[in-house]
Amino acid sequence: MSIEWRERAGEVWTVPNLISLSRLPLVAGILFTLDSPLRYVLFALIILSDGIDGWVARKLDQTTELGALLDPALDKLTALVLVAILFPRLDLPLPYLVLFFARDIFVVSLAPLVPLYGFDTSKVQARLPGKVVTNLQFLAMVAMLVPAVAATEALLWALGLASAVAIVDYVVFVARELSDRDWVHDRRGTAAAAVAVSGAFALVVRLLLYDEFRDALATLG
């Protein structure tokens, strides 16, 4: 066990993992440059590091188990810290963060399925609707960085809708992985998931963001 632990610790010093870890001081740097154009440079370097660490790992033949865990974990941590830093500058209601993190909260909620059913959550992370949500999260963070309040608000609503679609996709996928019942594998299962998630989304909006939703509709009208 101690030998395995030392091997994993040694993997930190590979080039791609060091590139991944460079996001941490870059995020900290944004905290101290919120009123300086330097924040855009630091944010660009964060995006660059996220884009090239996997490529470098393959190019140098330095792919590791630690790197496979480190990259997505740092993605989530980076998003969480950046939103915590940037969101308060927008003077938007705090419940908007539910729209930003809805997909991630649902994916985390799948964790109990791993020991209970041996469920492989890595399949969920790679699905197309989830990638759409990730890209919208990136655009929302760019808008927060500016800061552009109206653009951020619009992107957060788009994120909420995209997250609802992604969660429906996840629910159907997980249900089909765990059940052999016929109705789960046809359109009835998809329809049931869509109704349930749509109802939950509508309830969240009604309880937390009703006034903001009404104002958004008025603006569109």
Same domain (yes/no): 85, 98:
no
CA distances from residue 199 to 164, 190, 212 in whole angstroms, order as listed: 10, 14, 18
Q: Is 79 a residue whose pLDDT tops 70?
A: yes
Same domain (yes/no): 177, 103:
yes
pLDDT tens-place string over residues 176-205: 888 888 888 989 989 999 999 999 999 999
- Which structural domain range is residue 73 located in? 1-90
pLDDT band with cut points at 50, 70 and 90 for residue 119: low
* Helix ranges, the chain (H): 2-10, 15-21, 23-31, 38-59, 65-86, 96-109, 113-117, 122-125, 128-145, 149-178, 187-208, 210-220
Longest dimension (CA), the chain: 64
CA distances from residue 129 to 17, 136, 171 in whole angstroms, order as listed: 27, 11, 12
Arithmetic mean of pLDDT, 86-94: 93
Arithmetic mean of pLDDT, 147-156: 94
pLDDT band with cut points at 50, 70 and 90 for residue 2: very low
Q: Is 114 a residue whose pLDDT tops 80?
A: no
Q: Is 1 a residue whose pLDDT tops 50?
A: no
Half-sphere exposure of 58 (CA within 13 A, CB side): 4
Domain boundary among 90, 108, 141: 90
pTM for this prediction: 0.85
- What is the rounded average pLDDT for all residues in the chain? 86
Same domain (yes/no): 72, 119:
no
Structure confidence at residue 102 (pLDDT): 93
Three-class DSSP category at 112 = coil
Same domain (yes/no): 119, 69:
no
Q: Is 156 a residue whose pLDDT tops 90?
A: yes
Structure confidence at residue 8 (pLDDT): 57
Same domain (yes/no): 152, 192:
yes
- For residue 220 the two structure tokens come to 């569109």
pLDDT band with cut points at 50, 70 and 90 for residue 4: low
Residue (of 150, 134, 128) closest to 102 by Cα position: 134
